[in-house]
Amino acid sequence: MELWFMGTSAGMPIAERNVSSIVLSLTRTKGSLWMFDCGEGTQHQLLRTPLKLSRLTKLFITHLHGDHLFGLPGLLSSRSSLGGTASLDVYGPPGLREFLDAALRLSDTHLNYPFQVHELEAEGAVLDEDGYTVECALLDHRIACFGYRIAEKPRSGSLRVDVLTAAGVPPGPAYGKLKAGEDLRLEDGSVIRAADVLCDPIPGRVVAVMGDTRPCEGALRLAQGADVLVYEATFGADLAEKAEQYGHSTTLQAAETAKAANISRLLITHFSSRYGPDQLAELETQARGVFPQTDAAMELQAYPIPSPSFRTNLA
């Protein structure tokens, strides 16, 4: 599982940064891609990565401000032109369907794949499939805006091979059945219960992706205990009043949310165009003063999210 940032700039692009879009590359779905927001120029950014647009299966829009949305019609059209035929689901606030219907109709764009828009009317479960769940919550911005929590379902633990060897069970199909949670009946009539030879389940990873927001209860709830939190830090600590006025957060507010939610890693993004590349280190330093495990997200760079079992082995 990896996170890629296609754009980290707020409001409008600058020479060094594009506007908002994030891609989550999944491992349990044969490399499927899920995208969060699609600002103008997102498809151009994808061309600069090893990620393939044809693998995009889910697209989540946080809100309908242009810097999170204007790249969507072009990206959908290119996916069709590139021969994409797999179905695509798009999730987002009310109004998203109207925007896409108008853009595709007026531009006479025809998509060669099944396409469905799911408008989110309330907080709660968004989907449950392919080994993952997604839930959403309302954030505190100037217009309706959602954050998303993506949770990987737990995997079954490893088999206690020493116990099976002592019981005379050779490696093979029997191991597969036990791994799948099926009890095994031996030739002598005795039964080996899967629960007795499986180690504890391996917890799934959790990624929380916020849209534009002031600090709020919805963001804190979605972020709770996450392995990675992606949170906006539009302004530095000295511009708290401006952040409040425009419905955004500062570096310190992002870090305070991360600390309160007891997460493992914070990736800050959505930086105001007033900050050039040489100033991002200072924004990162501000956040690290509250939450040391903070990084200012860099575009077109992979951020791996190791599984709990891998982290344990490293320890």
Task: Give the model confidence (pLDDT) of 210-242 as tens digits.
Answer: 999 999 999 999 999 999 999 999 999 999 999
Residue 248, annotated ligand binder?
A: no
If we measure between CA atoms, which residue out of 50, 37, 47 comes closest to residue 8? 37
Whole-number pLDDT of residue 29: 64
Q: Is pLDDT above 80 for 309? A: no
Residue 67, annotated ligand binder?
A: yes
Residue 68, annotated ligand binder?
A: yes
| pLDDT, mean over the chain | 91
Residue 44, annotated ligand binder?
A: no
pLDDT tens for residues 136-185? 999 999 999 999 999 999 877 777 888 777 777 778 787 777 777 778 78
pTM over 0.75: yes
Domains observed in the chain: 2-155+201-314 (3.60.15.10), 161-197 (no CATH)
Burial 4-33 (b: 16+ CB within 10 A, else e): bbbbbbbbebbeebbbbbbbbbbeebeebb
DSSP class of residue 59? E
**From 37, 67, 101, 108, the catalytic residue:** 67
Based on the residue annotation, tell me whether 188 is a catalytic residue of this protein.
no
